[in-house]
């Protein structure tokens, strides 16, 4: 599909951090200031675009050429594949015209990011496309900073998983790792709270919603979240011991 490899643009992933514009790296900032086309994901259900809002709060102005890529909030694989194909072809049209495209990503582009789907779909259509990924601050790191407690130290181990993997698997992780970071907690929050209470871990957990954004929430009283609606950009950090215990010797 590539018309001329020497004249195609580069696909750039600019990781913008979890929400605070001050966490945008100099490399990502430079890419946003110099790339002639921005692209970003947007959900029709959620509205707007979280990544573009970070750039706007930083005072960065989009270029004349932009691509708003629409994706449904669904797990329907067929529908998602169709939407990714549409988005990839939109981006490829600009790349094949010789223009670089920077894709705006909240958090880090390599950590549970929409960019991975876009990259794979574009490379399936044209394997010769050049890709550059600019790393950034991932939400668990921002959450740990807000908690003012390290995720790990010494020989301690950390698991970072989507909470949607199921309570049985999460229970195993709580028994195995010193710290467990649970992403995408919104759909399973009311299942997760009883599990943490059963394991006597509610008081060792912190809930973080939209870290670094104006709407940021940090909640230590996990019980107060029962039955409530939270934002999809939410996570929970569970310290499975007090920082002094060792594996196999927890209280």
Phi, psi (5° rounding) for residue 21?
Answer: -55, -25
pTM to 2 decimal places = 0.86
Q: Which two tokens stand for residue 204?
A: 């060792």
- State the Cα–Cα distance between residues 9 and 94, nearest whole angstrom: 8
pLDDT tens across 75-88, in order?
677 787 888 889 99
- State the Cα–Cα distance between residues 173 and 243, nearest whole angstrom: 16
CATH code for residues 5-134: 3.40.1010.10
pLDDT over 50 at 246, yes or no: no
pLDDT tens across 5-22, in order?
558 999 999 999 999 999
pLDDT tens across 103-138, in order?
999 999 999 988 999 999 999 999 999 999 999 999
Phi, psi (5° rounding) for residue 101?
Answer: -125, 125
Q: Locate the domains of the chain by residue range.
A: 5-134, 139-239
CATH code for residues 139-239: 3.30.950.10
Residues 6+ apart with CB under 8 A from 157: 176, 177, 178, 179, 247
Q: Are 133 and 28 in contact, with CB atoms under 8 Å apart?
A: no
Q: What is the chain's mean pLDDT, rounded?
A: 89
At residue 247, the pLDDT reads 44
pLDDT over 70 at 1, yes or no: no
């Amino acid at each position: 599909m590539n018309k001329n490899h020497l004249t195609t643009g580069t696909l750039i992933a600019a990781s913008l951090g979890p929400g605070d514009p001050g966490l945008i790296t100099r490399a990502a900032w430079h890419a946003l200031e110099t790339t002639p086309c921005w692209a970003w994901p947007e959900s029709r259900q959620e509205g707007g675009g979280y990544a573009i809002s970070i750039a706007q709060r930083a005072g960065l102005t989009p270029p004349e050429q932009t691509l708003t890529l629409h994706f449904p909030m669904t797990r329907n694989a067929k529908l998602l594949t169709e939407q990714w194909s549409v988005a990839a072809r939109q981006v490829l049209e600009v790349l094949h015209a010789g223009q670089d495209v920077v894709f705006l990503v909240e958090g880090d582009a390599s950590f549970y990011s929409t960019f991975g789907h876009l990259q794979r779909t574009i490379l399936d259509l044209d394997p010769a496309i050049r890709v550059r990924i600019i790393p950034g601050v991932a939400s668990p790191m921002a959450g740990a900073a807000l908690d003012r407690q390290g995720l790990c130290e010494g020989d301690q181990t950390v698991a970072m998983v989507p909470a949607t993997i199921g309570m049985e698997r999460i229970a195993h992780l709580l028994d195995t790792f010193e710290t467990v970071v649970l992403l995408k907690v919104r759909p399973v929050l009311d299942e997760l709270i009883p599990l943490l209470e059963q394991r006597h871990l509610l008081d060792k957990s912190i809930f973080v919603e939209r870290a670094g954004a104006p709407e940021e929430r940090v909640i230590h009283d996990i019980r107060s979240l029962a039955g409530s609606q939270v934002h999809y950009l939410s996570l929970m950090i569970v310290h499975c011991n007090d920082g002094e215990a060792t594996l196999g010797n927890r209280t």
